[in-house]
Amino acid sequence: MVSYKSIKAEILNGIVGRQWAPGELIPNEEDLARDYGCSRSTVNRALQELADLGILERRRKAGTRVAQRTSRGALIQIQIVRSEIEQSGRRYGYVLLHREVQAADSATAGLIDAPRGKPLLHLRCLHLADGVPYQLESRWISLVALPSARDVDFESVGPNEWLVTQVPYSRSEHIFSAAPPNAEERERLRLRPDEPVFVIERRTWLAAQALTYVRLAHPGLSYRMISREDDLLDETES
Amino acid sequence: MVSYKSIKAEILNGIVGRQWAPGELIPNEEDLARDYGCSRSTVNRALQELADLGILERRRKAGTRVAQRTSRGALIQIQIVRSEIEQSGRRYGYVLLHREVQAADSATAGLIDAPRGKPLLHLRCLHLADGVPYQLESRWISLVALPSARDVDFESVGPNEWLVTQVPYSRSEHIFSAAPPNAEERERLRLRPDEPVFVIERRTWLAAQALTYVRLAHPGLSYRMISREDDLLDETES
DNA sequence: GAGTGGTCTAGACCACGTT
DNA sequence: ACGTGGTCTAGACCACTCC
């Protein structure tokens, strides 16, 4: 029996081995099914998965081509900060610096994308790795969307860890940037002179409703955000 | 006819609407097929795609559960710098600063992951948006893997644009960081005092062979790397 | 052992988009 | 108009893994 995985692997080999160049047409499903001695459904599944990966481009009547990949994706895995630190073999530490319920003013309403005047929970926390400042977190949580957050004190559980036990989200936005530190960051993160911060900002929504906005600042000289990918090698080729 | 997309959408609605909580078991394929009045294959495709998205977890005999999503991904699209600038409505400018063939010394060999002594093409380029410095690129290309690069002058075509017309890659690594600028970056990017740079480093391989290493430095006060995602809403729900 | 998902088939009809 | 991919079906057999 010819499996769709083996067909995927063979097509990939053909691309990597330059049997088909980017932009080139590969045979249609019917021909491939005859070549491999399997049904068209099996070929279809293989080609469809390669198209989902961005490796092929398919259009009815026009056929299937090797994609010209002009943009290259990098998938960043953003973990809970605790597991990020513990997985690197370091000891995790957590301090809640500030906790306050406030009404959204125009500045914070814009950040979290919630209506002005609605109640927000504002938290500031410091995360440490082996006692060294690792991340300064400044977070707003919409109490309209997540009213139960009002009853959590966040002294022992970080907001990130609490949030993942709650609802899923349906939309998210991440912004990464490099910035000069503000006074609090310089002090709390014990930055050296001229050391910038690496900033991650994240907003999440469930349907149209804003859930949370968070700004995560890391010391620039020690923090690296890394993404590794094996694009094609997920099949067991001999 | 019940489509696999409508089943996907209904299951998603059930999850977002908390009909099924994270970790909870959803009905098996046979039951769902009877409920929806379609074949098991159709249900299978819907559930399998949701599992691929990380929204469901499936195990034979154990059934299908709503996934506990503890880590959240952000997909960064790294485009050719030219289209990145032109898509924002600005005019693209390009200057080749330096071009040199050199043998890999121990430092550069480590960066690109190629054997010491092998020939490398080293390029430094400046990319501008509306005449303002946007990105300083420092790139090494393995002439072992890509010998034809030796014959390209890179005066009019940027290395990024040339490379995508060449081979695909099979493995890549991206590192993002915030750093104080070096002297050249301060001058070429016309940085303000205390302005850090946002640095993207990328290495790519084809099978085990290193292709290229590039370090891209952006002015920290103006550059933002943004990623937006609609996790669940790719179906046409009314 | 038995229940569940994983895959394949042969056929069918349809939607789309190129020609 | 027609060639291509997109989807669905009814059935089958198998692989895994929980009990």
**Beta partners for A78?**
B72
**Short-list B198, B207, B75, B57, CA closest to B134:** B198
CA atoms of B216 and B11, how far apart (whole Å): 42
pLDDT in tens, B93-133: 999 999 999 999 999 999 999 999 999 999 999 999 999 99
pLDDT of B43 reads 97
Mutation target for B interface from A225, A228, A230, A234: give the one with most B CBs within 10 A.
A225
Closest CA to B27 of B67, B61, B64: B64
Strand D at less than 7 A from CB of A39: no
Cα dihedral B203/B205/B211/B214 (nearest 10):
-10
Calpha distance B157→B100 (Å, rounded): 16
SS3 sequence of chain B: CCCHHHHHHHHHHHHHCCCCCCCCEECCHHHHHHHHCCCHHHHHHHHHHHHHCCCEEEECCCEEEECCCCCEEEEEEECCHHHHHHHCCCCEEEEEEEEEEEECCHHHHHHHCCCCCCEEEEEEEEEEECCEEEEEEEEEEECCCCHHHHHCCCCCCCHHHHHHCCCCCCEEEEEEEEECCCHHHHHHCCCCCCCCEEEEEEEEEECCEEEEEEEEEEECCCCCEEEEEECCCCCCCC
What is the structure's pLDDT at A237?
Answer: 40
Nearest by CB to A172, which of B72, B176, B179?
A: B72
Low-confidence ranges of chain A (pLDDT < 50): 234-238
Chain B: nearest CA to A182, how far in angstroms?
12
Q: How far apart are CA B117 and CA B104, in angstroms?
A: 5
> Is the shortest CB-to-strand distance from A232 to strand D under 7 Å?
no
Whole-angstrom distance, CA of residue A52 vs CA of residue A55: 8
For A10, the 3-state DSSP assignment is helix
Per-residue model confidence as pLDDT tens for chain B (238 residues): 789 999 999 998 888 777 898 889 999 999 999 999 999 999 999 999 999 988 899 999 999 999 887 777 788 888 889 989 998 999 999 999 999 999 999 999 999 999 999 999 999 999 999 999 999 999 999 999 999 999 999 999 999 888 877 767 778 899 999 999 999 999 999 999 999 999 999 999 877 789 999 999 999 999 999 998 876 554 444 3
pLDDT of B167 reads 67
Coil, helix or strand for A121? strand
Residues 96-125 of A with CB under 7 A from strand D: none
What 3-state class would DSSP assign to A33? helix
Contacts of B226 in chain A (CB under 8 A): 173-176
Tally of CB atoms within 10 A around B52: 11
* Bases of chain D within 7 A of a CB of the protein: 2-12, 15-18
The encoded tokens of residue B86 equal 């032109």
CA distance B98 to chain A (A): 24
Q: What nucleotide is nearest B63 when CA is compared to C1'? A: C4
